[in-house]
Structure 1
Amino acid sequence: MSDRLSALPVIHVETHPWREPLAMAAGLNRREGALALLAGAGDPTAHGGRWSFVACEPDRVFVGRADDAAPFALLRDPAYAGGGVVGLMSYDAGARPATGERGGGWPDLMLARYPALLAFDHRARRVRAIGRGADAEAARFQAERAAAWLDEAVSAGSPSPPSVRADEEGSGAAYEAAVADVVARIGAGELFQANIARAWAGRLDPGRDPFEVFLRLSAGRGAAYGAFWRLGMRALVSNSPELFLTFGGHSGRIETRPIKGTRPRDPDPARDAALAAELAASAKDRAENLMIVDLMRNDLARAARPGSVRVERLFELESHPTVHHLVSTITAQAAEGVGPAEVLEAAFPPGSITGAPKHQAMKVIAGHEPPRGPWCGSLFGLDLGGEARLTASVLIRTAAFEREAAGWRWRALAGAGIVADSDPRAERLETEAKIRALKEALVG
């Protein structure tokens, strides 16, 4: 197939009355390639979220190894560069130049192109049926196919927990020992910060499905970058609050919003407010955040016009259902000739979940953790709404599922940024606060 024929250069858009995107996702979730990217997942105002996307049945799929030198090179292929594309790059693929080959069962890169897609505009309360094709007739056909899905919306309740237990890989004591080792390495001048994670794993009960976990998360606990994706024998459920990158293909504006600094929420309003104030005033957490801001400034500079990188906001407090976070915002203008692939390659893996210096931090992480798989990689959409835009999240608060003969097996992780004055017990408790919403969705 030639590039000319494999590309989908024509877009057709039809506008329809509002439907709830979660109800649409529930109606399509068992189809191949089922996709739901929900802005706020029940709270469309969360962190400025305006658009949600639902689709299924991609016409072009890649699952395999990424090019070590240019892991996002496929995004330059006309077959994918035309948009309507969702991708997932695993953390381990980005870390491999520092860590070497480490194995693991999750592929480096998953890409899927959706010629038919529903885009939900929460602000205007309208739905766009978007079709892409090689010509106007083919694009119109795909838009009509997407519009037909609107009749398949179903009520989306909150099912019972689909998994009986979550088994930790290792132990809390082992995690604290790993933190102490990293603190010692920092003291010896080996690095400044590293994000060290713990993992939990389990199985869904017979007959239960990963989409049920997504429904449970979306019931009042949905995050700004909530996502469900089913592709072949794998599925992903993400409740991530963290933006990795946005890139406006027309404007050239790049933005990243790293998260560093965490406190648990408390049901008592006074205690909750005190925890938020403690985080906002914490010199340790501000220093941890600032290290990653500096790292991300350096990463964005690789794809930016000289002198255009700016720190727009520092140490903003964001409150989520189970945690408070400190978030900073860095922006830049893309250099001439820079596209989505170059922007992603400049900054991947995300600095907030590696450390500083990034290369050395990834080596230290590999000494304490098995391969991470998709966790702390990135899920991204390329021109989903017909606006030449890249949006990529950091895959924290994320569970990866693989289907076996006995049913669905899952794995989830939570990490903490370790710095010179980190307390091992406090860092362990931070990981438990971060995994809380996901564990409640899985096992109750």
Structure 2
Amino acid sequence: MTTTSRIDFTQPLDGQAARLRQAFGRPRQLLLAHTHADVRAVLDAVHAAAQRGHWCVGYLRYEAAAAFDTALQTHAADGPLAWFAVHDAPMPWPDDNLQQRAADPARVEWADGPERAAFDAALARIQQAISAGELYQVNYTAPLRGRLQGAAEALFAALQQAQPGGYAAHIVAGDEQLLSVSPELFFDWHDAPGGGRIVARPMKGTAPRGATPGQDMANAEWLRTAPKERAENVMIVDLLRNDMARIALPHSVRVPVLFATQALPTVWQMTSDVQARTRPGTTLTDVFAALFPCGSVTGAPKVRAMQMIRQLEPAPRGVYCGAVGVVRPRGPAGADGLRAVAATFNVPIRTVVLHTQGGQQRVHCGIGSGITCGAQADAEWREWQYKRAFVERASMPFELLETLALEDAAFRHLPEHLARLRGAAAHFGVPWDADAVQQCLRALAQRHLAQRWRVRLLLDAAGRPRAEAFALHAASEPVRLALATRAFTAAHSEFVRYKTTRRAHYAAFAPTAPGVFDTLLWNEAGEITESTFGNIAAYIDGRWVTPPCCCGLLPGVGRAVALREGRVAEAVLRLTDRPRVQGWAFINSLRGWLAATVQ
């Protein structure tokens, strides 16, 4: 089955569990708008095609805004303002082979992202304008740019695995491909002769996922109650209420859900629902004229916010922050042969755009956040890092990893290692087959019946296990640890909290001096975290303590055993505490507890 596009959308008006998951082949017709004067005509043609029973899949660029209001300023577009493919009918979603994707994954080499100095300067300009009373909020964004090696289909599959659910679309539009895994609904609209229904779900407010279940719940509660995040959300809700009123029956606009928290793999997001009954005769063009672009990606008030965006952002946003979706027939045809129409569009955040030029596949992906009067540069910069984590996860193939000690054909702490591996599989969306993992380990143990071995147990993206063994040599105590000369900025990454083969952030701190066993790491807050391949304990104030997970570290199995046995307790250790430390230890399941010194 040859497909050109596919969509995998939640359907809010059909129930929260409903999904529209379809593929599309070669279109019967393409509808394109290259000028603002053509955008409305294209949307009218899309609406008419759906009324006649066709399915239309496509997008509007952010720069299409002036087609609906000339006061909405943008840069000149770098491609069609509107692009829709018209299909006779959808096809079933392809039966993708997960094992094939794991064997032939896509890779993206990203160039350096936005510079911090430019980010700080833009934030300062926005806050000056807010202080002057010009506006309340600006959604400021910047692009990440890179090159793709491999197939776009493999990258889309990896993106969906990294950001499941929501409103995913892979649209092939000539030399341009859109790989959107946006979690944000722009609008879901069901037309009807007596008036339709519409819901928008703006997403404003972000918090990172926690390193522990307790911290995760605390982060969600903070997001629900933080004044800055609530203010950011409610500003956009008010903007959407006003926009929706343009097409709504009188007194029908309401907000049934306010400040809901949605758990995504790398962040918590705050969403609210804005609903209305649309007036009889409302068209798809009317809906876009009232709502586009979504206020969550502009700011408030929309006109002034977009003016500032044009001043601060040096290039067009393109499809990023525009709209990507599907327009389809709904229900039986009437006496006139026409059907009611349903339209679902996402706000294309968490979206990668691919251009093929001269045999190279160039990609870009936008990252942004809403800047309000209470925004702090450090906090907003961290939010950008949280938001880009989805694309970093999908950009480089990796396997899940456990390192175990095998001695006399017995694995040390095997149940604990398997539990941790199962948790990592759940986090990254990797299939888990406990029997296959156990069988893999048994086979390896039977081949290594004597001596001590270091075993690497790996699980690929398809859930297939493999194991390899290496001779394990004893380390002379005390082992020497060197203090890192700079902060471990990756401390709070998911690739620290879960053990995988993606370890470049650790490798950058590998010791180079002779006789040094490992490097003692510390985070940007000056808190000691771990070493590059083990956990740390310190004897201070009459007890052994180890840093808690909230400092940013891998919760090792050896550490967990020491905590369970009462040998150590959790406590924050700061660099400034070093003079009071009377003893150090290196801990992991492979080597156990090793006395250590820190230089």
Q: Same fold (TM over 0.5)?
A: yes
CA distance in 1, matches of 2:227, 2:131: 18
Change (3 A) 1:46 1:289: same
Select the residue among 2, 14, 17 that pairs with 1:48.
17
Q: Which residue of 1 aligns with 2:41?
A: 73
CA distance in 1, matches of 2:136, 2:342: 34
Displacement of 1:254: 1.0
- Unmatched segments (≥5 aa) in structure 2: 332-339, 398-599
Deviations 1:346-401 (A, max 9, x none): 10000111010001000111111121000011012111666621111100000111
Larger Rg: 2
Q: SS state of the match for residue 326, structure 2?
A: strand
The alignment status of 1:303 with 2:274, answered yes or no, reads no
Displacement of 1:407: 2.0
Displacement of 1:164: 4.5
Select the residue among 140, 157, 176 that pairs with 1:215.
157
Select the residue among 315, 321, 328 that pairs with 1:376.
321
Q: SS state of the match for residue 392, structure 1?
A: strand
Q: Please identify, of 86-95 and 347-356, the stretch whose mean Cα deviation from structure 2 is larger.
A: 86-95
Q: Please identify, of 406-415 and 266-275, the stretch whose mean Cα deviation from structure 2 is larger.
A: 266-275
Q: Which residue of 1 aligns with 2:75?
A: 102
Alignment of 1:88-99 (within 5 A): 88-94=59-65, 97-98=70-71
Count the aligned residue pairs.
377
What one-letter code is carried by the residue in structure 1 that aligns with 2:323? S
CA distance in 1, matches of 2:382, 2:251: 40
The alignment status of 1:85 with 2:29, answered yes or no, reads no
Displacement of 1:62: 2.3
Change (3 A) 1:249 1:410: same
Q: SS state of the match for residue 107, structure 2?
A: coil
CA distance in 2, matches of 1:209, 1:47: 32
What one-letter code is carried by the residue in structure 1 that aligns with 2:245? A
Alignment of 1:377-392 (within 5 A): 377-383=322-328, 388-392=341-345
Alignment of 1:40-439 (within 5 A): 47-68=16-37, 71-77=39-45, 78-79=48-49, 81-82=51-52, 83-94=54-65, 97-98=70-71, 100=73, 102-118=75-91, 153-157=95-99, 158-159=101-102, 162-168=106-112, 170-205=114-149, 208-219=150-161, 221-250=163-192, 252-369=196-313, 370-383=315-328, 388-439=341-392
Q: Please identify, of 154-163 and 351-360, the stretch whose mean Cα deviation from structure 2 is larger.
A: 154-163
Change (3 A) 1:161 1:429: farther
What one-letter code is carried by the residue in structure 2 that aligns with 1:85? C
What one-letter code is carried by the residue in structure 1 that aligns with 2:91? L
CA distance in 1, matches of 2:356, 2:309: 28
What one-letter code is carried by the residue in structure 2 that aligns with 1:264? P
How much is the aligned-residue C-alpha RMSD, in angstroms?
2.4
CA distance in 2, matches of 1:389, 1:309: 19
Change (3 A) 1:272 1:409: same
TM-score, scaled relative to structure 1: 0.79
Displacement of 1:310: 0.8
CA distance in 1, matches of 2:75, 2:188: 30
Contact 1:378 1:392 in 2 (8 A): yes
What one-letter code is carried by the residue in structure 2 that aligns with 1:182? I
Change (3 A) 1:435 1:385: farther
Q: SS state of the match for residue 39, structure 2?
A: coil
Q: Quick one: percent identity of the two aligned structures?
A: 32
CA distance in 1, matches of 2:166, 2:126: 31
Displacement of 1:93: 1.5
Q: Please identify, of 297-306 and 334-343, the stretch whose mean Cα deviation from structure 2 is larger.
A: 334-343
Contact 2:33 2:39 in 1 (8 A): no
Displacement of 1:103: 2.6
- Unmatched segments (≥5 aa) in structure 1: 1-26, 121-151
Change (3 A) 1:81 1:168: farther
Deviations 1:291-344 (A, max 9, x none): 001000010011111211111110011111111011100111111211222112
Change (3 A) 1:348 1:278: same
Q: Please identify, of 221-230 and 96-105, the stretch whose mean Cα deviation from structure 2 is larger.
A: 96-105
CA distance in 1, matches of 2:263, 2:55: 32
CA distance in 2, matches of 1:189, 1:111: 40
Contact 2:107 2:155 in 1 (8 A): no
What one-letter code is carried by the residue in structure 1 that aligns with 2:316? P
